[in-house]
Amino acid sequence: MTIEAAAPSSLAPDAAVRPLIHPGWVRVTHWINALAMLMMIGSGWQIYDASPLFGFVFPPQIALGEWLAGALLWHFAAMWLLVINGIVYVTLGVATGRFRSKLFPIRPREVVRDFVAALRGKLAHDDLSVYNAVQKLLYAGVLLAGLVIVLSGISIWKPVQFWWLTAFFGGYNTARYVHFAAMTSIVAFIFVHVALALIVPKSLRAMIVGR
Amino acid sequence: MPRPRKPIPGVDAKQLIGDAGKLLPVPSRRLFLRGVVSVGALASLTGCDIVDGPTAENSLRVISNFNDWVQARLFSRTTLAPTFPESDVMRPFRFNAYYDEDDAPEVDGDTYKLEIGGLVDNKKSWTLPELYKLPEVSQVTRLVCVEGWSAIGSWQGVRLSDFLKLIGADTRAKYVWFQCAEGYSNTIDMPTALHPQTQLTLKFDHKILTKAYGFPIRIRIPTKLGFKNPKYVTAMWVQNNDAGGYWENQGYNWFSGL
């Protein structure tokens, strides 16, 4: 095959006209984050089971690490992936202006309007590059949950060296509940996020190939 | 590492043999990864075989060693663990071990001697009456278990750094190793051993330690997880080689600092 024959216009006419929705750094950090989150949540459930905060445990079949020691090894290995990848993502999100242009402003009236439209199945997804108000709120919210889960996690990991951070979260015991609540909100987000990505498959394609 | 095999004073050898059976690691526990659904999901995501058991386990241990290094640098000799009023102390304090309270080692206080070895000038053993005469320090701190739960306790005893000075320990050595009556053992880093709150504990809540809380000696280290706070201590060695420990050898992180 010659170079000329491989020209985008002749091979994939769609791709040429579709605008780029997610630049490369968004897609790479997104999927690294997905992997890191899977490892952190799976091992976190196993760790939770060693000393449950509530009257239930997570089934060992969906937890990572076989037993407490293995889960802790996973958790404190994957944390580096999660945090380093998160720092790269947030830095680029702020530096490129993507956060500001995509996520803000979030107006409560628009959130209500779009939420009602979504429930009626009337929310349009014509332009994937523009987020509706519900999306903006959820994406900004899960970023906040990510920040809370990392900081509360550090306060549980190092309640002596970072005693001031642990105190900020209301002490060691309360910090465990904060960490759990942040995990719960992230898992809830993942359910909604994955369900909607499957309902609107072109959004999943955009997160893979960019367009 | 060669160790003298002479009987430890105050320890019932028969019971020690009985307890030794419990020290054997459960074979299934050594495989962190077998039959885990989440791992299967990861494998299909990445499309490569990074989750092959031994390979992943070795990688995790390498990262755990890196985390030891990170934690040693985060550790500060001057940062103190938060302290609490005596009214916050959990009474009765929670018993915790890998065996039932009834199976906790029974140490005879009359014949007991704390054996000292390694890089120290004075290797004389210490009887309990001798230890009880040393200057007492007290702390009310939180004991944090590796499992996640925690409990506030009140501990009294000799500051370990003072005791190390008293016996002429070489504090340039890297580690302090503790042997316990039931076969448990633990190695800690020298900076932690010299931390002002690290205590050779003889009392809980101002009363001589009971069997449940580690009679006759517990090493109380509020800057480390509970399993790095050995109970029923019978020997202490100052040395340059890491002799590991009961749980560390089964996969818990070595430094386990707080």
Q: What is the pLDDT of residue A6?
A: 43
Q: Kindly state whether residues A94 and A110 are assigned to the same domain.
A: no
Return the higher-pLDDT residue of B162 and B32. Answer: B162
The rounded distance, in Å, linking the Cα atoms of A46 and B53 is 18
> Total structural domains in chain A?
2
Residue A57 inside a domain? The answer is: no
The complex's ipTM works out to 0.85
Tens place of pLDDT per residue across chain A (211 aa): 344 444 444 445 555 578 888 999 999 999 999 999 999 999 999 999 999 999 999 998 899 988 999 999 999 999 999 999 999 999 999 999 999 998 888 899 999 999 898 888 888 777 888 888 888 899 999 999 999 999 999 999 999 999 999 999 999 999 999 999 999 999 999 999 999 899 889 889 999 999 8
Residue A10 inside a domain? The answer is: no
Residue A14 inside a domain? The answer is: no
Q: Kindly state whether residues A78 and A139 are assigned to the same domain.
A: no
Q: Kindly state whether residues A124 and A204 are assigned to the same domain.
A: yes
Contacts of B88 in chain A (CB under 8 A): none
The rounded distance, in Å, linking the Cα atoms of B84 and B61 is 35
Say whether pLDDT at B191 is over 90: yes
Average pLDDT over all residues of chain B: 84
Q: For B64-73, B93-102, B137-146, B195-204, which range has the lowest pLDDT when averaged over its residues?
A: B93-102
Type of residue found at A132: N
Say whether pLDDT at B186 is over 60: yes
Residue A6 inside a domain? The answer is: no
Residue A161, classed as helix, strand or coil, is: coil
Q: What is the pLDDT of residue B44?
A: 45
Nearest to A196 by CA among A116, A138, A145: A138
Q: Kindly state whether residues A29 and A87 are assigned to the same domain.
A: yes
What residues of chain A have any CB closer than 8 angstroms to a CB in chain B? 34-35, 38-39, 42, 47-48, 50-51, 61-74, 76-77, 80, 156, 158-161, 163, 166-167, 172-173, 176
The answer regarding whether domain B13-35+75-250 maps to CATH 3.90.420.10 reads yes
Q: Kindly state whether residues A78 and A149 are assigned to the same domain.
A: no
Q: Kindly state whether residues A117 and A84 are assigned to the same domain.
A: no
Q: What is the pLDDT of residue B41?
A: 46
The domain limits of chain B are 13-35+75-250
Q: For B12-26, B69-83, B106-120, which range has the lowest pLDDT when averaged over its residues?
A: B12-26
Residue A145 inside a domain? The answer is: yes
Residue A89 inside a domain? The answer is: yes
Q: Kindly state whether residues A110 and A181 are assigned to the same domain.
A: yes
Q: What is the pLDDT of residue A69?
A: 92
End-to-end CA separation in angstroms for chain B: 29
Q: Kindly state whether residues A120 and A171 are assigned to the same domain.
A: yes
Q: Kindly state whether residues A75 and A129 are assigned to the same domain.
A: no
Contacts of A156 in chain B (CB under 8 A): 148
Q: Kindly state whether residues A43 and A132 are assigned to the same domain.
A: no
Q: Which domain holds residue A132?
A: 105-211
Residue A178 inside a domain? The answer is: yes
Give the pLDDT band of residue B2 (cuts 50, 70, 90).
Answer: very low
